[in-house]
Structure 1
Amino acid sequence: MVWAGAAVYLLMVGLLVGGAPRASGTVHGAGALLAASLLAGAVRRAPLPALGLALLGSTAVVVGPPTSAHESPAAAYQGEFLSYLAVDVVLGFVVATRARRPAVVAVAVSFAVQLLVTGLFAHGDNLTVNGLIALLAMAASCTAGLLARERREHAAALRTQEVAEAVTAERLRIARELHDMVAHSIGIIAIQAGVGSRVIRTQPAEAREALSAIEATSRETLSGLRRTLVSLRQADRGAAAVAPLPGLADIERLAAATADAGVRVEVRHSGDQRPLPADIDLSAYRIVQEALTNVVRHAGTGQCRVTIDHGDEELSVEITDDGRGGTGNGSGHGFGLIGMRERVALLGGHLSAGPRPEGGFRVTARLPLPARVGVAR
């Protein structure tokens, strides 16, 4: 179908070339310009061959028909200009879509042919003016093609940047999830393993409890890892359902697991407890989980307190302990505080973490809440 249009174009050019000699150059040029519309399909599929056909047809129309004796030089040049106008349009498309080297060759060939034909068939003093007009028309088409190319390349670069940023954000999200989930469990397992190894001969009952805690924590961690991997492998949201993500409703279970590691956790709730958006609920849970992990690993204390305040406009989570405290920037806690700050920043909240004047360490996260949510997660 594409090349059928090209064949019809050549047929139309043949009719124009063999037409009545009394027709003016303007009529021949307009006919060539209209006939070039038949090359639209070929221009999309094969711009360079289409440019060659347009250049051949336009040149044949300009050179072929005999000039009427009564035709003015201006009318003759109008025919030349209209004939090559289609070539300039195709040339602009070539510049916009083809590689740089083929585009430069196409521009050079088109300019040479038009300059040669204009020079041979211009009338008297019109040679310079006609050549200048043809050059300006070609420059305009090439400029339009270059602008279209730059716009397309800029859009492609933006899409590439967006994809890269999305990939980076997803990698950071996965890293935070894995760190918050694994670090807490591994910390508890390490402590329980140490306790079990010390009392396995003198206190077998406590050793069995430590081993039971290690088994339960390991199974829970394995379940969380499996849930994460399954969610990553899901091709779409309609895939098989997985276990729900943890939230503030699971804080008591988290506190119990932390107590098995030797740190008793006192949980306090205040305000109007209500269903929260999934991202806020999960982030609040992960912040508490990471803070408790740091207490177990670094504080050197046997107790801490978790305060959760459900305000009208924000959710406040505070974890305090009376242990050894720590550095204000949290550099000694690896990526834990970094992950917490990233979570809070993504939700537009505020996180503060540092030693307390009276001793110990405090982590406070304030997460803004949307309007009252009546639908549970």
Structure 2
Amino acid sequence: MRLFWRVFWLNTLVGTVATVLLMVGPWTVSVPIRLTEALVLAAGLAAMLVTNAALLRWGLGPLEQLIRLMETVDLLRPGQRLAVTGSAEVATLIETFNEMLERLEAERGASTARVLLAQEDERRHIARELHDEIGQSLTALLLDLKRLTGQAPAELREELRLAQETTRESLEEVRRIARRLRPDVLEDLGLGSALAALVAQFDAHTVLRVERNLHPDLPPLDADVELVLYRIAQESLTNAARHSGAASVELSLSPADDCGGVLLLVEDDGKGLGHVPEGAGIRGMRERALLVGGTLTLGAAPSGGTRVALRVPGRGRGPEGLP
């Protein structure tokens, strides 16, 4: 039944019932109207309006559900759909909205994959330039300073040694940045070694005390899944170091189920998420998780801090990841 006729017949039903009650009931209206008659008419009108409102709410209820879903839908949390109920027009509207969500999620996934692929390519390019150009230049400068230190007068050697130390620290910083941009250990030694190196790096260069628990029997993972796990672990540790005020962080990676999935957990003892809205870093983590069919959840850790959990299905159970 079309929405127009549905509302029309609901109102007709209410009016008909009210008319029949007036016809068969003992009520009459005097001229001038009496107080009791006015009260009866007012009560009848109120009852009719309440009944009409209840029937309209029932008839238009699916539209209100659709509006609430449209206000809360987030493409980074896929799978939100509304049951197809109501009149023909309402059902068609809900079906169209659900189909639109499916298309938007697919298009968002494809565009995000292209963006993140370009981002990884750019990171590799920058890391290569840092290592090959700036790194080599700093190495040559360090060797020249070392040679000049041996030839310089005694009163200048201490200053040259300080210059050597500054150059050496700059070279190490460039190499550290290059490793963050392009985790060669991930490609060469695998995810476990890459996460161990990442934890050691944060342990050495931040005030965080990082503990790692990597299960020895992890299922085989595709290269794009390993990259997503590494990047989300990296971003989670970075957020903990910059924003949480935590003193310690625990990173764990273990099998998630019997079908080849894995579960990554990063928990800190900081101040927690509070009511701060999600920033670009967290939304980027959600986008990466979607590429491999993973589910990312953020909440409170048992210690009161923040808990980041990424559950990734096994091979062949999620959408395609990075191209």
TM-score (norm 2): 0.43
TM-score (norm 1): 0.38
Larger RCO (CA within 8 A; separation ≥ 6): 2
